């Protein structure tokens, strides 16, 4: 055994000496070879994805981002030339049925279409590699990219507009029995001031029973019930995350940037204070590890953002309520006074849309089927009306100027049957400057009726002096 090991060592040393004699090592080429080896798997996955999308008439433009479970690229459709965001799962799947059973795929199919939910355009699955790609609409940026490095705060009107759309997206999700569980600025996308919620890989059904996964939400936006219980939380955790995002959009900095779970709870208590002991006792019942926090009075959110308006501060406190039962819901948040102007504007827009729909719905009764068509018909009517008035003198020129005999009318004038009573007024003798004035006597009023004209004169008058159009219009 010893001899064998010695012999192997001699052979290895001989090979090394031979290699040193034949050529010197090129360390630059060696490092390039190592880098190519480490990036082999990445290039292979990109090649597979590019080949898969090319089969479906898509061309990869550039890589947008990458997460733990997926990567996102910008792709262009070769059919219509539009750009899309293609999210490819890193996990390989065995069948198309398994791909359709993913929570993210089921959630997007159930929630679409909605103006504040990312729209799923196409589902691409490759059986050979087990690769699944979700082709979705492409947005400009997320909220984190929008506020990163910004020095001046956003206008309050824009913040209100964004938060109203975010609450509408969550209200749509919760009303369909789904809660997101990972609301954060990176998952909130915007384009032309339109906000849409994306990344439904962590969503869960409201009808499922806890306990859920504890480490599901990003730590900075994780609700207290997620931190202090063994997965006993509900859809109200989404509203806590919305409150953290709300504060971050206003102040351009995160509210609770904890380094770990304990530091996260400490930062929450520094701002909001230690909750009531009864609430902590309720959290302790569903936690294997015992915890006790010293009583602490928080600094308050109003001190951190002193320029915040009263309605926005009120909504922010209701979203960041420590107790999930007292925390405001998505439907109630939409009815808050902070969104009053947007609600009124939305109602006016809905009433106008319904009025337009009523006009468009009259196609079966012979009315125009769109407002544009109605305006087009009105313009055509005005144009025909102008043409008619222009051509009218030409028509009048062609009329024959000779008398036309009209039918005679036998007009019988009834004799007056009512006699007017004669009132007698007593004569008054009035003296003026010593001399009497003349006496005014009443006279009988008689009704004077004009004698009927001769019928031939009437006929001749109508023949020569009535315009031709008036004869038609009057029925003669």
Given a contact cutoff of 8 angstroms between Cβ atoms, the answer to whether 180 and 197 are in contact is yes
| pLDDT given for residue 435 in this prediction | 58
pLDDT bin (cut points 50, 70, 90) of residue 358 is: confident
Given a contact cutoff of 8 angstroms between Cβ atoms, the answer to whether 151 and 209 are in contact is no
Q: Write down the residue that tokens 């984190």 correspond to.
A: 144
What mean pLDDT value characterizes the chain? 77
Q: Domain 141-341 is classified in which CATH homologous superfamily?
A: Transferase(Phosphotransferase) domain 1 (1.10.510.10)
- Annotated ligand binding at 87? The verdict is yes
- List Cβ<8 Å contacts ≥24 apart for 363-369: none
Burial class (CB in 10 A: 0-12, 13-18, 19+), 322: buried
Given a contact cutoff of 8 angstroms between Cβ atoms, the answer to whether 181 and 203 are in contact is yes
**Is the bond preceding 128 in cis, omega lying within 30 degrees of 0?**
no
Answer positive or negative: Cα dihedral of 58, 60, 63, 67.
positive
Q: What is the tens place of the pLDDT at every residue in 192-207? A: 999 999 999 999 999 8
Q: What is the tens place of the pLDDT at every residue in 216-273? A: 778 999 999 999 988 889 999 999 999 999 999 999 999 999 999 999 999 999 999 9
* In this structure, CATH architecture of domain 49-137: 2-Layer Sandwich (3.30)
Question: In the chain, what are the domain boundaries?
Answer: 49-137, 141-341
| pLDDT given for residue 223 in this prediction | 94
- Report d(CA 241, CA 245) in Å as an integer: 6
**Helix or strand holding residue 74 (H, E):** strand 70-77
Residue 267 DSSP SS3: helix
Q: Which of 354, 350, 314 is nearest to 163 (CA)?
A: 314
Given a contact cutoff of 8 angstroms between Cβ atoms, the answer to whether 73 and 65 are in contact is no
Q: What is the tens place of the pLDDT at every residue in 416-451? A: 555 555 455 555 555 555 556 565 555 555 545 545
Buried b or exposed e, range 48-65, using 16+ CB within 10 angstroms: ebeebbeebebeeeeebe
Q: Check pLDDT > 80 for residue 414.
A: no
Given a contact cutoff of 8 angstroms between Cβ atoms, the answer to whether 271 and 258 are in contact is no
Rounded to two decimals, what is the model's pTM? Answer: 0.67
| pLDDT given for residue 381 in this prediction | 55
Q: Check pLDDT > 90 for residue 466.
A: no
Does residue 182 carry a catalytic annotation? yes
Among residues 26, 32, 171, 182, the one annotated as catalytic is 182
Q: Which of 125, 50, 53, 120 is nearest to 95 (CA)?
A: 125
């Amino acid at each position: 055994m010893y001899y064998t090991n010695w012999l192997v060592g001699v052979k290895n040393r001989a090979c090394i000496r031979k290699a040193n004699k034949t050529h010197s090592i090129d360390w630059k080429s060696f490092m390039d070879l190592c880098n190519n080896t480490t990036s082999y798997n990445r290039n292979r996955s990109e090649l597979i994805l590019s080949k898969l999308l090319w089969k479906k008439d898509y061309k990869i433009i550039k890589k947008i981002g990458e997460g733990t479970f997926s990567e996102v690229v910008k792709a262009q459709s070769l059919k219509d030339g539009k750009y899309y965001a293609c999210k490819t799962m890193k996990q390989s799947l065995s069948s198309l049925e398994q791909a359709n059973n993913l929570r993210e795929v089921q959630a997007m199919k159930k929630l679409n279409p909605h103006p504040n939910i990312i729209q799923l355009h196409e589902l691409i699955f490759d059986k050979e590699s087990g690769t699944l790609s979700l082709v979705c609409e492409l947005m400009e940026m997320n909220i984190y990219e929008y506020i990163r490095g910004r020095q001046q705060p956003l206008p309050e009107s824009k913040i209100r507009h964004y938060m109203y759309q975010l609450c509408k997206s969550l209200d749509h999700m919760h009303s369909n029995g789904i809660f997101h569980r990972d609301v954060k600025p990176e998952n909130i996308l915007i384009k032309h001031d339109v906000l849409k919620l994306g990344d439904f890989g962590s969503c869960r059904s409201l009808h499922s029973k806890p306990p859920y996964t504890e480490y599901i939400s990003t730590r900075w936006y994780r609700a207290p019930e997620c931190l202090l219980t063994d997965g006993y939380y509900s859809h109200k955790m989404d509203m806590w995350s919305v409150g953290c995002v709300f504060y971050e959009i206003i102040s351009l900095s995160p509210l609770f940037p904890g380094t770990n779970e304990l530091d996260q709870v400490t930062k929450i208590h520094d701002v909001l204070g230690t909750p009531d002991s009864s609430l902590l006792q309720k959290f302790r019942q569903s936690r294997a590890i015992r915890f006790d926090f010293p009583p602490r009075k928080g600094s308050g959110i109003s001190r951190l953002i002193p320029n915040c308006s009263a309605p926005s501060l009120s909504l922010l406190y209701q979203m960041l309520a420590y107790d999930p039962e007292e925390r405001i819901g998505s439907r109630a948040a939409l009815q808050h006074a902070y969104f009053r102007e947007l609600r009124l504007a939305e109602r006016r827009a809905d009433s106008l849309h319904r009025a337009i729909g009523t006009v468009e719905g009259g196609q079966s009764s012979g009315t125009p089927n769109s407002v544009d068509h109605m305006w087009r018909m009105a313009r055509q009517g005005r144009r025909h009306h102008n043409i008619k008035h222009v051509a009218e003198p030409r028509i009048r020129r062609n009329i024959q100027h000779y008398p036309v005999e009209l039918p005679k009318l036998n007009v019988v004038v009834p004799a007056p049957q009512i006699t007017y009573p004669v009132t007698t007024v007593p004569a008054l003798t009035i003296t003026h400057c010593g001399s009497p004035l003349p006496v005014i006597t009443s006279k009988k009023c008689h009704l004077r009726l004009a004698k009927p004209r001769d019928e031939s004169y009437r006929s001749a008058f109508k023949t020569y002096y009535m315009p031709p159009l008036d004869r038609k219009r009057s029925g003669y």
